Structure 1
Amino acid sequence: MDFRTIVDVPRPDFAIGPQEKILCVGSCFADSIGRRFAEEKFRATVNPFGVMYNPASILHTVERTDCAPRVAFFTLGTNHVYILNETGEIVDNCRKRPQRLFTERELTVDECIGYLRQAVDTLAKRDPEVQVVITVSPIRYAKYGYHGSQLSKAVLLMAADWMARMYQRCTYFPAYEIVLDELRDYRFYAPDMLHPSQQAVDYIWERLSEAYFSEEAKRFLEEWRPIKEALGHRPFNPDSDEYKAFLQKTHERMAALKERYPCLEV
């Protein structure tokens, strides 16, 4: 008997190599995955202008940054946007200004697609080989009501699906489905019962790396893991001969790895 519904993660027609240049833009879920890319020594730029929840704000970040990644991750959180009444422009952050200065509205599927297309096209002008992975954040927005949050996610899912089907350089990674269908238990949520727990994020990372990483990237991560753990070790006695020998051995392993991966920095 199988007591779990496993979400299929199709293997894309490209692979992420070790120390690849990565751009992660989107909701706080993008922050979580982006930090993991950085920890694993990918050259990751993560939300350089802060967390961006909707497709319009994702476009704004892409336009403002000069990053030219080989792989970009767009994590869509909501289709709700806030428009500054004075200018009629969508703002990325209300900066705690009075609510009366803004009008909230919801983007349509076509509007979401339009902003995402512009963002992808902008990156493609910088690197014609760029690949864009689109995800929908599994985080629910309680302030919209849970039914309203689901409606918002539905719009984003439809836009993401269109992009993955119609844009050859775009793929869809089912982070949303993994949390809702594979990890259907509150033990996979943070104490607020809305955000995925670290264990859930680790599992999503595992599924992502299985499908998207090249064999070379997987080998690099296997070699990097013990070095990363050793560097994070906090000894009881840092002046002991044993720890100094341990540290020397770690630095030697690090130097050997750096010879094969010159971009490696610690």
Structure 2
Amino acid sequence: MNDWKTDLTVKSADRPIHLNDPILTIGSCFSQAIGQHLNNNKFNVTINPFGTVYSPLSIHHLLKVALRKGEVSEGDFLVHQEVHYHYQFHSSFASLSRQELAEQISRAVNKVNHFISTARFVIITYGTAWAYKRKDTAQWVANCHKVPSAYFSKELLSIEDMENSFDDIHSALKAVNPAIQIIVTVSPVRHLKDTIELNSVSKSTLRLLCHKLSHRPGVDYFPAYEIMMDDLRDYRFYQEDRIHPTKEAEEYIWQKFTQKYFKTETKTFLREWQEIKHALAHRTSFPSTTHHQSFLKATLTKLQGLQHKVDVGNEITFVKNQITTP
């Protein structure tokens, strides 16, 4: 224990993540952060392909659409302030043309459908148990797209409904890809628009959901929420909005993630890659000097030594273009 906090000790996962395991992240903006860390460290990852989605039911629904490669609900297309949206997708899916929006959605669905067939991990980050339902159709939405709140009812999702929804998608994933593993997390991002009290209700509901889900075969829980709330437990680890974790907090949570899911070989690669990344970021005012050219050649040799592990083609080209001496 440190003298200023209580450490959360993570146990090694039964099924570790290997460097070449295809990984899909989906859910809240925290899944974007974890996905970006994986991407920056050369993992094969598809990050939040449907944009930020907070509700468990919406996350599960989008996975189901991707698995079935199915058409999205025609009744969920809408036009707001001359822009076309879809209630089941993030606002990044938008266009001045409905046809163009439908094609944009179709491309994302096809991409995820193809990726899931070979994926080894799906990392799901749940953001809130509060969800919005259209009053005219009684259908849940993933995004209200700034349509007036009078058109929706806000409700707390039940554990039973979320469990049943998960079980449907879990079975469907296993049918397509029996080797796939699921990691569930609760986002440490605070939803204070719901008020502090109702944010606590939401997060505790999601935590109970994840506890139940983690007892399913092939499902594991990563305690991102507890690391933020009980390990770091300090406002200095929040950004100025007091809602989102700082980069320092994200890095700390990432290190806990590596402890839980990476074996020694993968951790060794991460250390090697960090050294190379620092070398690639190095800039000099005198690139033609013998010293810097030797530095570039040494970096190139290290990159070439990693070619059998990860794709470093762009980095090799970047360094070669700077080498001016034989």
TM-score clears 0.5: yes
CA shift, 1:115, in A, is: 2.2
**Gap change, CA 1:26 and 1:85, over 3 Å in 2:** same
**Hey, what does 2:73 align to over in structure 1?**
none
Give the direction of change, closer, same or farther, for the CA distance of 1:244–1:91 in structure 2 (3 Å limit). farther
Where does residue 44 of structure 1 map in the other structure? Answer: 45
Give identity over the alignment, percent.
34
Residue 61 of structure 1: how far off its partner (Å): 3.1
Q: Work out the CA distance in 2 between the residues paired with 1:88 and 1:244.
A: 66
Q: Does 1:159 align with 2:209?
A: yes
Give the match for residue 57 of structure 1: 58
Equivalent residue of 2:255, what SS? helix
2:293 is equivalent to residue 224 of structure 1 = no
Q: 1:144 to 1:265 in 2, by over 3 A?
A: farther
- Alpha-carbon distance in structure 2 between the residues aligned to 1:153 and 1:9: 20
- Contact persistence 2:188–2:225 (CA under 8 A): yes
Structure 2 distance, partners of 1:190, 1:131, is 32
Q: Give the SS at the match of 2:306.
A: helix
Gap change, CA 1:2 and 1:98, over 3 Å in 2: closer
- Specify the alignment match of 2:305 in structure 1: 256
What residue number does 1:94 align with?
144
What does 1:6-85 align with in structure 2 at a 5 Å threshold?
6-63=7-64, 64=66, 65-66=112-113, 67-68=115-116, 69-85=119-135
Contact 2:26 2:50 in 1 (8 A): no
Match of 2:220 among 156, 165, 171: 171
Q: CA deviation at 1:264?
A: 4.8
1:118 deviates by 2.6
Shift in CA distance, 223/91, structure 1 to aligned 2, threshold 3 Å:
same
More divergent stretch after superposition (224-233 vs 47-56): 224-233
Scaled by the length of structure 2, what TM-score is found? 0.76
Partner of 1:120: 170
Task: Kindly indicate whether residue 196 of structure 2 is the aligned counterpart of residue 196 of structure 1.
Answer: no
Deviation digits for residues 25-60 of structure 1 (CA, Å, limit 9, x no counterpart): 111111111100000010111110101111112113
Q: Which runs of 5+ in 2 are unaligned?
A: 67-111, 315-326
- How many aligned positions are there? 264
1:108-130 Cα shifts (integer Å, max 9, x gaps): 11112122223333322232111
CA distance, structure 2, for counterparts of residue 123 and residue 261 of structure 1: 28
Q: How does 1:207-218 map to 2 (within 5 A)?
A: 207-218=256-267
CA pair 100-236 structure 1, distance change in 2 beyond 3 A: farther
Instruction: Check conservation: 1:81, 1:106, Cα contact below 8 A.
Output: yes
The question of 1:136 aligning with 2:215 is answered no
The answer as to whether partners of 1:161 and 1:172 remain within 8 angstroms in 2 is: yes
Cα deviation 1:188-245 (Å, max 9, x = unaligned): 1111111111111111111111121122211211221111222223333445554444
- Equivalent position SS for 2:282: coil
Alpha-carbon distance change, 126 to 100 in structure 1, aligned in 2, over 3 angstroms? same
Change (3 A) 1:265 1:83: farther
Does 1:110 find its partner at 2:111?
no
Using structure 1 for the length normalisation, give the TM-score.
0.92
Secondary structure of residue in 1 paired with 2:54: coil
Contact preservation (8 Å) 1:58, 1:119 = no
Secondary structure, aligned partner of 1:257 = coil
Structure 1 pair 243–8 and aligned structure 2 pair: CA distance change class (3 A): same
Please name the residue that 1:146 is paired with.
Answer: 196
Residues of 2 paired with 1:18 and 1:163: CA distance? 26
- Structure 1 stretches lacking a partner, 5+ long: none
